[in-house]
């Protein structure tokens, strides 16, 4: 039986979906919620749903082009970043794909769907799960695709740009496509120091994956895109699936989202403050916290304490990371939310520790 391995599953237990006090810390969505302009655009787009959506997302790509100061022909839009990811693997058909471990599960899933074998570059806890220069040795002539996540999921760790540039050049010399997932980079205040968007023109082998889902809090709408200067690859993406993969509602939401500059500034400021608060409070509960740059935190308990099970009784979901390749039981991921929600989470966690003190320390 197929098993869902991601966060955000509020549907398996009806009592969660219907509970107004439910807190979903298992999905890394912007805690500010959907921007007002995007809500308005979604409402206004309903009337247009009697027509097929634009299969080329022309207005949306034009808006992205102006936002990133890149030609519209370098953008491909999809039904969420995951849709674009699967299309990329279908289009490129790599025989061997190198991924990080741990990292987002769908890189492996998409590659396997395309018939690829998987190689892992295992990140070490002693290195705080940071990607090191050793990865260059793992990228060989046998490698046909490299996938990196920056910042990585679930660790939240950023990759040094100098190392990223080395990897990019190494891949170019070996004629290997390099896919860099920058979906969570939008939450980082100094993101311009880490993005590879400025390298697209000089490296046709570079593909950057982005999403509206997390940063604009619209996972239910589904909208993502990629950027590449490889025109032939863009054509292959259009040929790799159905034409109407981005709904009229999603296109309208994306166009409106490009105007929400103040919302983005407020988001980054909130995440920085609230993440620092959570780190301090989680460490007071004697949890190991791996500080990252994204809007979530990877934590570890050495006490074998079943946090997801205990918190669910209080209608709180967190992400059990034991199914990530390279991690084991005791690792969890917690999203960063508003101070009100974060205080509620910490209060519940402290009450659980106090109540189960003997089991917690043993």
- Judge whether 181 lies within some domain: yes
Contacts (Cβ under 8 Å, ≥6 apart) of 360: 303, 305, 352, 353
Q: What is the pTM of this model?
A: 0.96
Torsions phi, psi for 308 (to 5 deg):
-60, -45
Q: Which letter does DSSP use for residue 196 in this model?
A: -
The CA distance from 4 to 219, in Å, is: 16
| Domain of residue 302, CATH code | 3.90.1150.10
Calculate helix-pair angle for 81-92, 231-239, nearest 10 degrees: 100
Q: Are 240 and 84 in contact (CB under 8 A)?
A: no
Maximal C-alpha separation, the chain: 62
pLDDT above 70 for 18? no
| Residue ending a domain, choose from 222, 257, 292 | 257
Q: Would you list the DSSP string of 279-306?
A: HHHHHHTT-EEE--SSSEEEEE-SS---
The CA distance from 33 to 261, in Å, is: 15
pLDDT above 80 for 235? yes
Task: List pLDDT tens digits, range 60-74.
Answer: 999 999 999 999 999
Q: Mean pLDDT score of the chain, rounded to an integer?
A: 95
Instruction: Give strand ranges (E) for 107-192.
Output: 117-122, 145-149, 178-181
Q: Are 248 and 48 in contact (CB under 8 A)?
A: yes
Binned at pLDDT 50, 70 and 90, residue 6 comes out as confident
Looking up tokens 């979901």 gives 317
110, 75: one domain: yes
Binned at pLDDT 50, 70 and 90, residue 1 comes out as confident
104, 116: one domain: yes
17-21, 25-29, 264-268, 298-302: segment of lowest average pLDDT? 17-21
269, 346: one domain: yes
- Judge whether 268 lies within some domain: yes
**Nearest-CA neighbor of 85 among 103, 61, 60, 111?**
111
Can you give the pLDDT at residue 362? Answer: 60
Task: List pLDDT tens digits, range 333-345.
Answer: 999 999 999 999 9
322, 290: one domain: yes
pLDDT above 70 for 84? yes
Its domain, for residue 280, covers 14-25+261-361
Task: List pLDDT tens digits, range 177-221.
Answer: 999 999 999 999 999 999 999 999 999 999 999 999 999 999 999
281, 245: one domain: no
Instruction: Kindly tell me the burial class for residue 115, based on how many C-beta atoms sit within 10 Å of its own C-beta (0-12, 13-18, 19 or more).
Output: exposed
């Amino acid at each position: 039986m197929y098993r869902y391995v991601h966060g955000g599953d509020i549907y398996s237990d009806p009592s969660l979906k219907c509970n107004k006090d439910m807190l979903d810390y298992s999905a890394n969505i912007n805690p500010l919620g959907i921007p007002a302009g995007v809500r308005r655009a979604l409402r206004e787009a309903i009337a247009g749903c009697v027509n097929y959506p634009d299969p080329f997302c022309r207005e949306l790509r034009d808006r992205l082009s102006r936002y990133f100061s890149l030609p519209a022909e370098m953008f491909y839009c999809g039904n969420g970043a995951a849709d674009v990811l699967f299309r990329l693997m279908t289009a490129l058909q790599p025989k061997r794909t190198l991924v990080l471990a741990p990292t987002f599960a769908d890189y492996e899933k998409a590659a396997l769907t395309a018939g690829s074998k998987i190689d892992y570059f295992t990140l070490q806890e002693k290195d705080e799960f940071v990607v090191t220069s050793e990865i260059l040795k793992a990228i060989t002539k046998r490698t046909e695709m490299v996938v990196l996540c920056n910042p990585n999921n679930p660790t939240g760790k950023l990759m040094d740009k100098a190392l990223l540039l080395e990897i990019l050049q190494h891949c170019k010399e070996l004629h290997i496509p390099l896919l860099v997932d920058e979906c969570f980079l939008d939450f980082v205040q100094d993101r311009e120091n880490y993005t590879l968007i400025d390298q697209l023109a000089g490296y046709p082998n570079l593909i950057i994956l982005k999403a509206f889902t997390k940063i604009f809090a619209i996972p239910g709408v589904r909208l993502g895109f990629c950027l590449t200067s490889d025109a032939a690859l863009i054509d292959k993406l259009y040929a790799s699936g159905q034409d109407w993969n981005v709904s009229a509602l999603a296109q309208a939401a994306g166009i409106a989202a490009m105007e929400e500059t103040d919302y983005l500034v407020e988001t980054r400021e909130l995440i920085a403050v609230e993440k620092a608060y959570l780190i301090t409070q989680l460490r007071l509960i004697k949890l190991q916290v791996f500080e990252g740059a994204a809007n979530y935190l990877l934590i570890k308990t050495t006490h074998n304490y079943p946090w997801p099970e205990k918190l669910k009784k209080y209608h709180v979901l967190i992400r059990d990371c034991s199914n990530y390749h390279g991690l084991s039981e005791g690792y969890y991921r917690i999203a960063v939310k508003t101070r009100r929600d974060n205080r509620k989470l910490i209060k519940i966690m402290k009450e659980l520790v106090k109540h189960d003190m003997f089991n917690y320390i043993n």
